[in-house]
Structure 1
Amino acid sequence: MSSITVVILDDDAFLLKVLQRTIHRAYPEVDIMTTSDIDEFWQLLNTKQDLDLVLSDYLMPQMNGLDVLEQCSSQNPYPVRALLTGDMTLSTMMRQPNVVHAYLAKPFNEADITALFDNVAALKSLPFAFNVRRQLGAMISFPVYPLILKELRDLVQSDEFDLHDISHVVSQEPIITAKLLQLANSAYLGFIRPTSSIDEAVSRLGTTILMAITTSLLVAKNFESSIPVDVHEKQLNIAANCASCVKRFAKQAGFNLHDQELLFSVALLSFVGKIILLSQGESEPPDEHAQTINNGYVSANFISAYVLKLWGYDTKICNLLMSCHDLAGTDDNELTLFNHMLYIVWQIIFDEQTPMQLRAYCDSKGVDPLLCHVISEFDWQSYTS
């Protein structure tokens, strides 16, 4: 893990020592600054602009932890903001959702510390320009991490999980159940025989696609009071159409099922950033296809990558979200084919390039000959008409 710097504010000196020991046991290289004095905290925050993490206790005599983090979001929005609290009720988490990026629950253990610091380190490794990170940290519409998503993630990441248990969790949200059944009956995804069973729908879609669908829908629910339902539905349908196209293109190009599902998830999760932009008053998500990572432009896909990394999503998905609008967007050889696949689909669906034009361009740039061939052979009309 790359070296990261954290400042911790807590009025309990004993707890500060326990936190410091626990963190150093898991991550000896982390630079930790602790303080119980609010004035010293502000001085640290304002003099160290590239702090990676700010961790504040919730209940303190000097100042409420939520108020501390709210001021952090305006004074120095670069670092990840985490709240240390023994109250993990939904009402507390829903207050001013843009203030808190992550929660560390009391009593915490080393696994909790590991989950938080791994996400912070992975976020630091993503190729965000400094000013872009600051813009993302200052977002006024940062979605609250959904508790159902955490429950699903814990199930999926467990050594043994039962699909029926997963079905039971998603069934708590009727809109998610309905969308899963819709996609599980979709000819676009290659399903011919209909099903009305949520257990079978979960089995058909697999956990990777399930997590992407659930994440997208829960983000939409987070902003249902600020965005009309028809706008939600329009953006989700656009993302789902693109995701289905990517998956089918990948299948025709010979990608295995796991990689097809990964590509589907990247395309669908682009929806997350678009909805956040719309919640901030954008009439339509801006055109981002000509933008690059380092020019200071906060695109919908950058927002998606930022939020999803803080929620523990695979760094591979986040990197692909950030690079898919540029044929040379990644220097990671393991991601190059995935990047090219997403770029091809984006160009035809969103930039309305013709397959002939795109194939000629990809040929000239040394794209894999098989992908170039599939550009000419693929049934684009099903996804663009």
Structure 2
Amino acid sequence: MRIVIVGEDAARAAEFDQVLGDFGLDWVIEWLPEVTAVDGDMPAFDVFVCGLTPGPIGGPELLARVAALYPQAVRILLLDQNPDEASVDIAQGLESAHRVLGRPLDPVELVTAVESVVDLRELLDNEVLKRTLGRISSLPPPPRLYLQLTRLLRDPEASNAAIAQALSQDPAIAAKVLRLCNSAYFSGGREISDMRSAVIRLGHQALLRLVLTVEAFGGSGFGTGKLREQVQDRALRASNLARRLLPGPSAELAATASLLAEVGRLLPGVATAEAGDTAAAEGEEAPDFAEAGAYLLGLWGLPMPIVEAVAYQQRPGQMRSGGFWVTGAVHVATALVAGQEPDEAYLRAVGMLDKLPQWRELVEPSLLDDQAA
């Protein structure tokens, strides 16, 4: 395995080589002071590591280029404990990175991060899962407007008017966004009747999640109406909760991942697999809804931290990488919203168990219960 580290202290090369030797790994690390271009002519590499400002090209842009030209490479973003860069740069870097590690880079953390991404790929490279999803005549399409808005919001000069105009290009989605905007999940006062007001009231990130909600749960034939309502209700509440469990830009990743955590339940042959139909009827163990959902999100091209959090939402302790971060927040949020107990052994291991009572108080009640009453 070949690792490229850009813009970091090459004087530490011997320290990293020693750790690789201790683990019995024959990985090769190349330390580059900077990278002026990323193109298809670069020598092949398996892992790419950089900070936010590794040289003439910013880290987020470097990682995005690596993602486009070397999609199989593990991409790692390094952040200082208190970065001076604008949060928009961090958010853009998070979108293209598989992992975020602190600076100065720790060699053991690097090994763990790389191996955990490899584990995730092996988890989703499941033949039963592929066959089950392959039986579906038409998988839900990628969230087109959400991805378009994500690209638009990467431009720091993007105006609220431009965002509202992009939203208004699809009247059906715009109408559903306005309806949700005025629902109890998001309502903050007077009724909103136009997209620009919705953009101003909600803010960009909440608006993105709203659009994603409409696109992810609005497809015809994508789960029954009642099941969609139940999953969407839990998704919105879990998203609101997860966002409060992590600080900074990571909060938005956790909110988005929680919003999509149960999307696999809506896939034909996966949502009802527990009842023993589809793959199970053929003598195969039916794929887990979390893995099926993560596989779908990978096909949609969503950021790897979101895909990983969805895949490991019910078993965060099985991840190689330690710490709480996005997967931990999704695990807690989805469990509490579903009325289940989070994994206390995992929370104790990552030093977050004492926060559980406080988190329980943040869970919002289901609106479906109010409607039924």
Q: TM-score range by the shorter chain?
A: 0.5 to 0.7
The superposition leaves residues 76-117 of structure 1 with CA deviations (integer Å, 9 ceiling, x where unpaired) of: xxxxxxxxxxxxxxxxxxxxxxxxxxxxxxxxxxx9986544
2:120 — aligned with what?
127
Query: In the alignment, is the contact (CA less than 8 A) between 1:24 and 1:30 conserved in 2?
Result: no
SS in 2 for 1:346: helix
Distance of 1:329 and 1:206 partners within structure 2: 35
SS in 1 for 2:188: coil
1:190–1:120 distance in 2 versus 1, CA, 3 Å: farther
Query: In the alignment, is the contact (CA less than 8 A) between 1:208 and 1:262 conserved in 2?
Result: no
Distance of 1:366 and 1:113 partners within structure 2: 33
Distance of 2:328 and 2:64 partners within structure 1: 36
Distance of 2:181 and 2:297 partners within structure 1: 24
1:210 — aligned with what?
207
Distance of 1:285 and 1:177 partners within structure 2: 34
Task: Tell me, yes or no, if structure 1 residue 305 matches structure 2 residue 294.
Answer: yes
**Aligned partner letter, 2:239:** A
RMSD of aligned Cα (Å): 4.2
Task: Tell me, yes or no, if structure 1 residue 153 matches structure 2 residue 150.
Answer: yes
Task: Tell me, yes or no, if structure 1 residue 28 matches structure 2 residue 28.
Answer: no
**Aligned partner letter, 1:274:** R
> Scaled by the length of structure 2, what TM-score is found?
0.56
Distance of 1:192 and 1:114 partners within structure 2: 44
1:346 — aligned with what?
334
The superposition leaves residues 273-332 of structure 1 with CA deviations (integer Å, 9 ceiling, x where unpaired) of: 222x2xx24564749xxxxxxxx8733332333333343322222222222212424343
1:143–1:189 distance in 2 versus 1, CA, 3 Å: closer
Query: In the alignment, is the contact (CA less than 8 A) between 1:329 and 1:339 conserved in 2?
Result: no
The superposition leaves residues 188-242 of structure 1 with CA deviations (integer Å, 9 ceiling, x where unpaired) of: 4583454333223233434444334433433445x41464444433332232232
1:25–1:337 distance in 2 versus 1, CA, 3 Å: closer
1:164–1:305 distance in 2 versus 1, CA, 3 Å: farther
1:196–1:130 distance in 2 versus 1, CA, 3 Å: closer
**Aligned partner letter, 1:211:** L
Q: Work out which of the residue numbers 234, 240, 244 in structure 1 matches 2:240.
A: 244
Query: In the alignment, is the contact (CA less than 8 A) between 2:308 and 2:327 conserved in 1?
Result: no
The superposition leaves residues 10-58 of structure 1 with CA deviations (integer Å, 9 ceiling, x where unpaired) of: xxxxxxxxxxxxx963553179xxxxxxxxxxxxxxxxxxxxxxxxxxx
Equivalences, count: 266
**Aligned partner letter, 2:327:** N
Deviation at 1:268, TM superposition (A): 0.8
Distance of 1:241 and 1:301 partners within structure 2: 18
SS in 1 for 2:287: coil
2:90 — aligned with what?
none
Written as runs of structure 1 = structure 2, the 5 A alignment for 1:1-385 is: 25=40, 27-29=42-44, 116-121=68-73, 125=118, 127-129=120-122, 132-138=125-131, 139-140=133-134, 141=136, 142-189=139-186, 191-221=188-218, 223-225=219-221, 227-247=223-243, 250=244, 255-256=246-247, 258-275=249-266, 277=267, 280-282=268-270, 284=272, 286=274, 298-333=287-322, 336-353=324-341, 365=349, 367-368=351-352, 371-375=355-359, 378-380=361-363, 382-383=365-366
1:317–1:262 distance in 2 versus 1, CA, 3 Å: same
Query: In the alignment, is the contact (CA less than 8 A) between 1:270 and 1:304 conserved in 2?
Result: yes
1:210–1:311 distance in 2 versus 1, CA, 3 Å: farther
Deviation at 1:261, TM superposition (A): 2.9
Query: In the alignment, is the contact (CA less than 8 A) between 2:177 and 2:210 conserved in 1?
Result: yes
Distance of 1:240 and 1:352 partners within structure 2: 17
1:214–1:131 distance in 2 versus 1, CA, 3 Å: closer
Deviation at 1:2, TM superposition (A): 7.0
Deviation at 1:161, TM superposition (A): 1.8
Q: Structure 2 unaligned segments of length 5 or more: list them.
A: 4-37, 47-62, 75-97, 99-116, 276-284
1:372–1:310 distance in 2 versus 1, CA, 3 Å: same
Distance of 2:253 and 2:64 partners within structure 1: 26
1:217–1:370 distance in 2 versus 1, CA, 3 Å: same
Q: Structure 1 unaligned segments of length 5 or more: list them.
A: 4-22, 32-110, 288-295
Deviation at 1:170, TM superposition (A): 2.2
